[in-house]
Structure 1
Amino acid sequence: MGGFGEIKVVCLVVIVVVAAVVTAEGAISCGQVMSSVSPCLAYLQGSGPVAASCCDGVKNLNKAAATTPDRQAVCGCIKSLAPTVGAKPDLINSLISKCGVALPYRYSPSMDCSKIQ
């Protein structure tokens, strides 16, 4: 009987450690970033206006990025996704202000996301 109880304790410890590691890495994925900003693609490519759904996604993404690791993850995703979808850096920066979101930095293809707080 003692062996079965020890196995349960070990399994519980492993689950807690795995959950802590996943949480520490940041909860926001590039899939979530893309989903949030997908209504903005026409604007970011220079071929359309800023839609209300676009600003809703930008605002929700900004609210979700509550921690430094989350903000760094979002930055890294935007940095890697922007060129693949044809987003223009100046339009990325103007979108932030058009949607009424305040960020302490401006997007640049060469920015170092590890320095974002």
Structure 2
Amino acid sequence: MKGIACSVLFMVASVLIMVQAGRAMSRLTCGQVDTLLAPCIPYLTHGGEPGPECCNGVRSTKALAQNREDKRQVCICVKEAANRYANLEDDAVQALPVKCGVDVDIPVSRKINCDV
């Protein structure tokens, strides 16, 4: 009986370690977000229509942000990226999710407080 209890305890500990390692590896980086959204820069700076690569990047970014911390990180990355481009058209920025048919629950703004 003691051997079974030790085996079960070992398995539970192993699973917990794997879950924690998986969480650490799933952290989003601004490099990932920048790469996914880079095809949107022409639309965001010149208007018109976002291309399919841009909309795929928006969808992929949303898919990566599954929990509150990931959404916060995406918000920070998008805000930092937006502040690097002085010529972003605010109307295009606000319209991007709608034009791509993506319901984004992360506000897009240069002034957003990502910690809220």
Give the deviation of 1:75 after TM superposition.
Answer: 0.3
Give the deviation of 1:47 after TM superposition.
Answer: 5.2
CA contact (8 A) 2:75 2:107 kept: no
Give the deviation of 1:42 after TM superposition.
Answer: 0.3
Letter in 1 for 2:107: R
Letter in 1 for 2:63: K
Could you say which residue in structure 2 is the equivalent of 1:12?
Answer: none
Could you say which residue in structure 2 is the equivalent of 1:75?
Answer: 75
Question: Secondary structure at 1:23's aligned position in 2?
Answer: helix
Q: Percent identity?
A: 30
Which stretches in structure 1 are left out of the alignment for 5+ residues?
Answer: 1-15
Letter in 2 for 1:35: T
Which stretches in structure 2 are left out of the alignment for 5+ residues?
Answer: 1-16
**What TM-score, normalized to structure 2?**
0.72
CA contact (8 A) 1:40 1:51 kept: yes
Please identify, of 55-64 and 95-104, the stretch whose mean Cα deviation from structure 2 is larger. Answer: 95-104
Letter in 1 for 2:68: T
Question: Secondary structure at 1:45's aligned position in 2?
Answer: helix
Residues 50/97 of structure 1: CA separation in 2 closer, same or farther (3 Å cut): same
Residues 92/26 of structure 1: CA separation in 2 closer, same or farther (3 Å cut): farther
Runs of 4+, deviation exceeding 4 Å: none
